[in-house]
Amino acid sequence: MGDVQKTKLAAIEAEWETQPAPAAFTLFGIPDQDSQENKLAIQIPYALGIIATRSVDTPVIGLKDLMVQHEERIRNGMKAYELLEQLRAGSTDQAVRDQFNVMKKDLGYGLLLKRYTPNVSDATEAQIQQATKDSIPRVAPLYFAFRIMVACGFLLLAIIALSFWSVIRNRIGEKKWLLRAALYGIPLPWIAVEAGWFVAEYGRQPWAIGEVLPTAVANSSLTVGDLLFSMILICGLYTLFLVAELFLMFKFARLGPSSLKTGRYHYEQSTVASQPAR
C-alpha cells in the first residue's frame, strides 16, 4: 500500500504532514478534515514508518504534500484533455500527439474537474482548488473503519488463543466468561470483513479506476428504478441469509458441543461420572 496507494495509506493513518522518517503511528485521534489536523492524538514514535515502509529512512508522504502533487497533475490533466480534444477533432499534428503522450498519464486527474465544469480546459482556479480537495477521501470514516477492523482481528486472536490454552488444560468448561466472550464474539469476523471492505472501496475514492477514471464520471445507463430494484433484491436476500445464519448459530451454541454425544466434552463426562455404577 505504501508504494502504490499512498493516498489511501495517508488517509487510513490520518497522516496530514510528511513527518521525518520513521513516522510516528497515531494510535488514536480525531481527524479534522477542515483544519487538516488530528485532535487528542496519541502517537507511538517510529511505528508507522517501520510498518508502512519497512525501513527507518523512508518517509510516509502526508496528505498535504500529496494534494500539492495532485494539483500539479490536475493542471497537467487540463492540458492533456485539451490535446485530446484536438486529436478527436482530427488533428494530424505529430507535435500534438507527442505532447499528449507525455501528459496522458495525468488525464484522469483532469477529469476530476468534470464534476464542476463540462469543459475541463476552461476550469477556473476555484474549480481547480475544489478538485484538489476532492482528490483525497474523507479521512475520519477511513481512519475509524480501519481501527475497527484491526480491533476485531486482535479480539478474535485473543479469544482463540485463550480458548486454545483452556482446551489444552481441559478447563474450558470452568471459564464461563471465556465461553460468553466466544459467543459474543461471533459477529466480529463479519464486522471486520465489512470494515475492511469499506476501507478498500472508500479508500480508493475519488477513483473508479485508480488515477484513470473518476467515480463522478463513471456513469452507467441504469435508471434509478433499476438500481433500487437490484439494491432491494440484494438486501432482502442477504437479510434472509443473515436471519437464518444467526438462528442456526445461536441454536447450536445454546445446545453446546455435548449435543454431539461424542463423550469428549465436559458436561457429558460430568453426567457419566454422576450416574451410579450398575
Confirm whether 85 is domain-assigned. Answer: yes
Positive or negative, the CA dihedral 12, 16, 19, 25 is negative
Nearest to 25 by CA among 33, 34, 15, 17: 15
What's the mean per-residue pLDDT of the chain? Answer: 89
In whole angstroms, give the CA distance from residue 205 to residue 254.
43
The one-character DSSP state at 112 is G
Same domain, 158 and 191: yes
Are residues 192 and 231 part of one domain? no
- Is 111 inside a domain boundary? yes
Residue-level pLDDT at 275: 57
Q: Which whole number is the average pLDDT over 44-64? A: 86
Rounded CA-CA distance 81/259 in Å is 68
pLDDT of residue 271: 53
Instruction: State yes or no: pLDDT of 273 exceeds 60.
Output: no
Q: Is residue 113 domain-resident?
A: yes
pLDDT digits (tens, 9 = 90+) for 217-268: 888 888 889 999 999 999 999 999 999 999 998 888 887 777 767 767 666 6
pLDDT tens digits for range 76-122 = 999 999 999 999 989 889 999 999 999 999 999 999 999 999 889 88
Q: In Å, how far from its chain's centre is CA 207?
A: 14
| Length of the chain, in residues | 278
User: 77 with 56, same domain?
Assistant: no
Q: Which of 134, 154, 180 lies at the terminal end of a domain, its last residue?
A: 134
**Residue-range definition of the domain harbouring residue 130:** 67-134
Examine residue 214 and state whether it is found in any structural domain, yes or no. no
Report pLDDT digits (tens) over 123-167.
999 999 999 999 999 999 999 999 999 999 999 999 999 999 999
- pLDDT single digits (tens) 206-218: 999 989 999 988 8
Q: Which residues contact 195 (CB under 8 A, 6 or more apart)?
A: 145, 146, 148, 149, 152
Q: Are strands 213-214 and 207-209 parallel, antiparallel or unpaired?
A: antiparallel
Count the domains in the chain.
4
74, 130 in Cβ contact below 8 A? no
The model carries a pTM of: 0.76
129 and 142 inside one domain: no
Residue 1 is assigned to a structural domain of this protein: no
Residue 129, classed as helix, strand or coil, is helix
* Residue carrying the nine cell digits 514508518: 49
| Residue 213 falls inside a structural domain | no
Residues 129, 72 share a domain: yes
CA–CA separation, 155 and 149 (whole Å) = 10
219 falls within a domain: no
Which of 118, 134, 150 terminates a domain? The answer is 134
Domain boundary among 153, 168, 202: 202
- 184/129 same-domain check: no
